[in-house]
């Protein structure tokens, strides 16, 4: 997980050029898929237009912002609408390591079937806030490896619950999630300030957690059930 500040974000333009990270940014503009599964972004978003708040309070999207984001409840799912910060934690890879990410940690809250941390560069995963008095994800039926539909710019990407973050901040996903959605995945300067919807399906588990194809298959099934139930 990471704690991005607005000050760092504001200074990111010059840092991007200085660090020579334009190739990574350019690759993010061409996600491998504009749509996963058979349920459209519009159909999913139509079911989350209003919020029945289930969290005791609201979350910040970054350290320096005010708390404005509630966790909302629906039949079979919870959701929130926030920004996307980039999580590069887990196994060291070309773009996720100490040199590329000032906040890098070599572990994730949930692990692959072989016991190793997840691989943020290649596995789409979402970060949930660590349990607190604001909200306890586990009590809400959200599990490590659970399926998440991440929606941005009319695109749907299926991910898994892969890591936990700060207790007061929400809106974070792995390098691979951002790249697939056409969001700059750079862990230091990337992400987007708004426009991301996260729909987490209750009591779901992808097995093995590292199988993205399994997440897409189960996610499509659960998205259809979600549409029918809400």
Asked if pLDDT for residue 172 goes beyond 60, the answer is yes
Name the architecture of domain 6-12+33-229: Beta Barrel (2.40)
Asked if pLDDT for residue 56 goes beyond 60, the answer is yes
CA distance 55 to 50: 15
Q: Would you call 13 exposed, middle or buried from its count of C-beta atoms within 10 A (0-12, 13-18, 19+)?
A: exposed
CB 149 within 8 A of CB 158: yes
Asked if pLDDT for residue 221 goes beyond 70, the answer is yes
> What is the pLDDT, as a whole number, of residue 139?
97
- Per the prediction, the chain carries an average pLDDT of 89
Lowest mean pLDDT among 4-8, 125-129, 201-205, 219-223: 4-8
The residues near 47 (Cβ < 8 Å, ≥ 6 apart) are 74, 226, 227, 230
> What is the pLDDT, as a whole number, of residue 34?
55
- 124-161 pLDDT per residue, tens: 999 999 999 999 999 999 999 999 999 999 999 999 99
Q: What is the mean pLDDT of residues 178-200?
A: 97
Specify the 3-state DSSP secondary structure of 90.
strand
CA atoms within 13 A on the CB side of 132: 17
Phi and psi torsions of 72, nearest 5°:
-110, 150
Q: What residue spans define the domains of the chain?
A: 6-12+33-229
> What is the pLDDT, as a whole number, of residue 21?
38
CB 76 within 8 A of CB 146: no
Asked if pLDDT for residue 35 goes beyond 80, the answer is no
The tokens describing 117, both together, are 């941390």
Q: What is the percent of the chain where pLDDT is above 90? A: 85
Which helix or strand (DSSP H or E) is residue 112 part of? none
Q: What is the mean pLDDT of residues 188-211?
A: 98
């Amino acid at each position: 997980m990471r704690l991005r500040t607005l000050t760092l974000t504001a200074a990111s333009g010059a840092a991007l050029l200085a660090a020579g990270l334009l190739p990574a940014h350019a690759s993010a503009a061409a996600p491998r898929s504009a749509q996963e599964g058979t349920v459209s972004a519009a159909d999913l978003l139509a079911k989350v237009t209003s919020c029945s708040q289930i969290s005791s309070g609201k979350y910040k999207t970054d350290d320096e912002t005010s708390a404005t984001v509630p966790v909302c409840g629906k039949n079979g799912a919870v959701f929130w609408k926030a920004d996307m910060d980039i999580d590069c934690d887990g196994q060291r890879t070309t773009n996720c390591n100490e040199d590329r990410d000032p906040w890098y940690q070599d572990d994730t809250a949930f692990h692959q079937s072989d016991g190793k941390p997840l691989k943020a560069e290649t596995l789409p995963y979402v970060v949930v806030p660590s349990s607190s008095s604001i909200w306890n994800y586990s009590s809400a039926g959200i599990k490590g490896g659970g399926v998440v539909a991440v929606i941005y710019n009319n695109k749907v990407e299926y991910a898994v619950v892969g890591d936990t973050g700060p207790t007061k901040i929400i809106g974070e996903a792995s390098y691979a999630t951002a790249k697939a959605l056409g969001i700059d995945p750079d862990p230091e300067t990337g992400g987007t300030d708004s426009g991301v919807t996260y729909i987490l399906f209750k009591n779901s588990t992808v097995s093995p957690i590292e199988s993205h194809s399994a997440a897409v298959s189960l996610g499509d099934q659960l998205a259809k059930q979600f549409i029918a139930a809400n």
